[in-house]
Structure formats: structure tokens, C-alpha cells
A and B are shown apart, each in its own frame.
Chain A
Amino acid sequence: MMSAHTRRPISAKTFVGLVIVAVQLLPVYVTLTVALKGQTDLSSVWVLPAAPLWDNFAQALGAGKLARAFMNTTIITVAATALVVLLGALAGYPLARSRSRLNSVVLGFILAIMMIPALSLLVPLYVLMNRLRAISTFQGIIPVHVAFNLPLTVFLFTNFIRSVPRELDEAAFLDGCSVYSIFYRIMLPLLKPVTVTSVILTSVAVWNDFQYSIYFLQKSEMRVITLAINGFFGISGSNLHVGSAAALLSIIPVTVLFLVLQRYFVSGMVAGAIK
């Protein structure tokens, strides 16, 4: 990384970069121009209106029930992420430290689970959820997210704990710590980087989820953001202008978080991808 004071040269590359940025931002820009106009405004989608109309945003939050959807999504994301990280960290400890044959089988099993695409299980999963009376409930959808995000998290924690020197454990053990208190006192404070990675990977996946939600959250008051957005594009009386406002509102939280925590996001995503 260069210091902010060093001026980089403006070159042909800057121009190419601008073109790429323009393409990437095109859908966002067009969505914005639509969001700021009323349904009767037939002007080009390339131009912003002279007098922006903010009413679409208010409608999306109110009548479009986006505010409710934000609430639901937040509850589900926070709960699922907390559970995934807690259970993943706990599981990673014995899997990293006790290298018995049993544990290598267990780890292999957890990794093999990652090969099963969730989509191929949706019918039997729906049957299970129905039997548990868990359709359209928080206690129904949260464990589903937990289950499908756990394998990667367990893997990340196991790898990370393996990289922590065993001498630390042994010293504490000789001082009379039990394996549990070693985990609590020695390991836990060291797990910050991998915890950040896991929180990012899991919360982004859950926050953005559409495929499980469309199956398992069918009551309108249980809608999450993606379902609410999808609702605006339905065949039944779609309002593209309110829909565009809703789409823009929905990307604000992730965008802001990303811009603030960019370094963690990218290194976390790379860690998740490469391992």
C-alpha cells in the first residue's frame, strides 16, 4: 500500500478504470433515476429528474413494508451469525487439537457436507420444516442458515487454531488449567481475526439470502429484504419506481459496512475462497 501523500500517475489505465467503473455502476445509476421519478414521468432513464421525488423511498419503507423486512432480516442475520461463530469456534478447538482418527473422520465429514448444494435439498428440507411447523418462523429459518454456513466456519476455525502454538496450551495445562479453561482463557482472545472473517462471510450470506427465504418464509409479515424486493417485480401490480427505491435502500447497509471495513472484507472473502 502506498501512502496517501504519494500521487499516482494519471495514465491510460485511469481511463480504462473509469470505463470499468461506469459499466459496474450503470445498473445502480439507472435504478436511481427511476427511483427519483413518479410513474407518470416518461423521461429517459438516463437522466436524473430536475425535481427529485423522494416519495418512492417513503412508500417502499411504509406501504412496501421494507422497514419490516429490514427488521426481520436483521434479527435473522444477527442470530444466525452469532450461532454459527459460537458453534464453529467451539467445534474447531477439539478438531484442531485432538488429532485422533475419529476427529479426522469428523472433519472430513463436515468438509464433505460443503459439496452438497443446498438447492438440491430444498424439497426434503421443506418437508422437514413443515413437520417441525417451522415454516415462516424465526426459529425455523435461523437453524437452516446456521446449518449451511457452519461447515466453512468450522473449517476456518480449525485451521486457525492449528496455527496457534501448542506450547501455549501446554504451559497453561501445567499451571493447572482444564482444556475448557484453556479454550476460554487462552484460545478465545486469540481468535479475533478468524472471528471477523467468519462474521463477515456468514452475515453477508444470510443478509443476502433469497433461495431459502423464498421457500421457508411465506407469510408476508415474515418477509426479508430480498423477498420484499422480489415482491415489487411480481406480475401483480408491480410498481417499478417504488421497487427501484427499495432496491437502493436495501444495498445501503452492506455498502456502508464494506466501505468502512473494506480491508477485513476482502481478506476475509479471499480466506474463505481459497481455503
Chain B
Amino acid sequence: MEKDYAKANILYVPVLLILAMYVVYPFFDGIRIAFTNWNGFSQKFKFVGATNLIRLFADGNVRIAFVNTLVYGFGSTLLQQILGLAYAVLLTGDFRGRTVVRTIIYLPVLISALVMGAMWYYVVQYDGALNEVLVLRGHSKVFWLSQRTTTVSLLVVINTFQYVGVSMVIYIAGIQAIPGTYVEAATVEGAGAWRRFGKIILPLLFPALLTSITINLIGGFKLFDIIMALTAGGPGYTTHSLATLIYSTYFGGQQAGFSAAIGLLLFVTILFFTLVFNRFVRGREVEYT
């Protein structure tokens, strides 16, 4: 029968063809383009060696975008773990309205990040909801979207609010998988709520933590929609991520070669941090014994 199954291998050929054409071929073509000075539309271009790759390290805008990308990635990941874990602990408790709260925290995950960013614009714009509160309390209005540190932090927070639901459901699933006897035993032995959380629940949530962090890191590094909706990388180049810089370098700057090189940088960045993270945590899981 094994031989007959092998005949069915033909069933995955379409998938391989599509992936070869739309992922593998562009991947290598992207490396080729990164070594040219192509502008994106002209028939003429030259191979310029490693010029674009060297420029990745020299270019001030790339440096800003790279640092921002790390902030978007690590900042969102940190906030999402803290909030996600807190929400999960709260929502595995028993109280009225629990289901509604869960639903509303999770709902933004399913909404387009671009639309979510657009809706937050009404909160943070100069005549928006946030500034109205400030004025009411006697402060003056703040340009939330005009200064790098403030704006980048704000984008991290907005991204967190949108995707905290992902971490939350992962942690809820993790907490519910912990045998109730463990927690009961600790309670009988006199461990308080904090101690139970720190000594029993948190260590046993390690696999959930890994999953959640990996997803959040990759998601944060790839941040694109929310930036496009709220700042489009501005003012100037101060809030770009690598992802939005790829876009603006290609279509705005008409430097396809350099844009492809930034694409490689994004690829390497994500690969590097996911691998380092997974290497770092491997073998540190706590087992039920």
C-alpha cells in the first residue's frame, strides 16, 4: 500500500509549483536585484556589487527604521506578554461578564490592522479624543504623531491593544491545561495567590510563553499596516519600520535595488531573532512530573 500512497504524491505538485513561482523564485531574484542599481521601472540597470548592502549600514534612514523595527518587535512583545498574561489570569477567574470581556479583547485580532489604525487616528489626532481630555483637565494639546519617541511608543501601544487577544487565548489555553490538583495542593500548603502564580502557574506556562513570544516578535518586526494608517513613516522618516521603508524606498524613492536590499535585512533580522530566541529557550521547559 505504501507504493500506492507514493502515487498520490502528485497531489502536492501544484503546491510546490505555486511556492516555487511566488516565493522561491522571487527570493533569489530579490538577492539579484539587491546587487543592482535598478530604479524599478527602467529597462536599464547595472550590477553595482555590494554597494546597496554597504549602504544598509551607512544610511541614516535605514538605521532609524532598523531601531524602530526592534522597538516595535520587542516593545509590543513585552507589553503583550504582561497584558496578555494579566487578562488570561483575570478571565480564567469566575465573574459575571467574563465571556463578553473575552470576546471584546479578542475581536480586534480579526479586524484589519489598517482599519484599526484608522480608528485609533480619531483618538490620537490633534483634535482627537485624547487631547480633548487633556484640555478638559487643564493641560495643553499634544502632537501625538509628530515626535519620534512619542509616536513610536504610541504605535507599540496600539499594536499591543490590537493583538493582545492572541497572547490572551494562548495563555488561557495554557492555564486551563494545568491540572487543578497542583494549584489546590499549593493552596492547602498555604501558598498565597502571588506565590501560586509565580511558583506553579508561570513555570508551567513556559510552552505557551514561547509560542506567544515568537508570534508577537515576528508580528512586531513586520509592523506595516498600523504605521501606514497613522504616520506613513513620518514625520520625515522617523517612524518607519523596515517594512514601510521597503515600500517607500521602492515606490517613493524609486530605488528598487536598495529596497530589495532592505528586504533582505528584514528577512535576516526576523530569522536571526527567532533562531536566537528558540536556541536560548530550548531545553528550559518545565515538565509535569
Residues of A whose CB lies within 8 Å of any CB of B are 7-11, 13-14, 16-18, 20-21, 23-28, 30-31, 34, 44-46, 87-88, 90-91, 93-95, 97-98, 100, 102-103, 106, 109-110, 113, 115-117, 119-128, 143-144, 146-148, 150-151, 154, 169-170, 173, 178-180, 183, 204, 207-211, 214-215, 225-226, 229-230, 232-233, 240, 243-244, 247, 250-251, 254-255, 258-259, 262, 265-266, 269-270, 273-274
Contacts and interface: CB of A to CB of B under 8 A. Distances in A.
A142 B17 CA distance: 15
A109 B16 CA distance: 9
A232 B121 CA distance: 12
Given A16-B90, A30-B123, A173-B4, 18 more contacts: A14-B95, A26-B123, A28-B119, A31-B122, A44-B132, A88-B15, A110-B15, A115-B271, A117-B270, A122-B246, A147-B22, A179-B8, A207-B112, A214-B228, A232-B118, A270-B170, A273-B215, A274-B173
20 contacts: A26-B123, A45-B129, A87-B15, A93-B8, A94-B9, A106-B12, A116-B23, A116-B27, A117-B222, A117-B270, A121-B26, A123-B30, A128-B29, A144-B22, A211-B243, A214-B247, A247-B115, A250-B115, A270-B170, A274-B170
Contacts of B12: 90-91, 94-95, 106, 154
B220 to A, nearest CB: 12
A30 B4 contact: no
A127 B114 CA distance: 25
B229 interface: yes
Interface in B1-51: 1-2, 4-12, 14-16, 18-19, 21-27, 29-30, 33, 40
B110 A247 contact: no
Contacts of B40: 123, 126
Contacts of B270: 115, 117, 120
B141 interface: no
A123 B169 contact: no
B110 A120 contact: no
B111 A251 contact: yes
Nearest to B12: A91
A10 B30 contact: no
B209 interface: no
Interface residues of B, number: 90
A98 B9 contact: yes
A226 B128 contact: no
Nearest to B261: A123
Interface in B71-98: 87, 90-91, 93-98
A229 B105 CA distance: 23
B246 A21 contact: no
Contact of A9 (B1, B23, B96): B96
A178 B8 CA distance: 10
B228 A87 contact: no
Contacts of A91: 11-12, 14-15
A27 B166 CA distance: 19
A91 B11 CA distance: 5
Interface in B211-251: 211, 215, 218, 221-222, 224-225, 228-229, 243, 246-247, 250
B110 A254 contact: yes
Nearest to B224: A211
Contacts of A173: 1, 4
Interface string B246-289: 11001000001001100110110011001000000000000000
B66 interface: no
Contacts of A88: 15
Contacts of B246: 119-120, 122-123
Contacts of B169: 266, 269-270, 273
A21 B119 contact: no
A98 B6 contact: yes
A21 B139 CA distance: 26
Nearest to B270: A117
A24 B161 contact: yes
A100 B6 contact: yes
A178 B104 CA distance: 48
Contacts of A154: 12, 15
A10 B93 CA distance: 12
Contacts of B205: none
B229 A262 contact: no
Contacts of A119: 222, 224, 243, 246, 263, 266
Contacts of B7: 179
B103 interface: yes
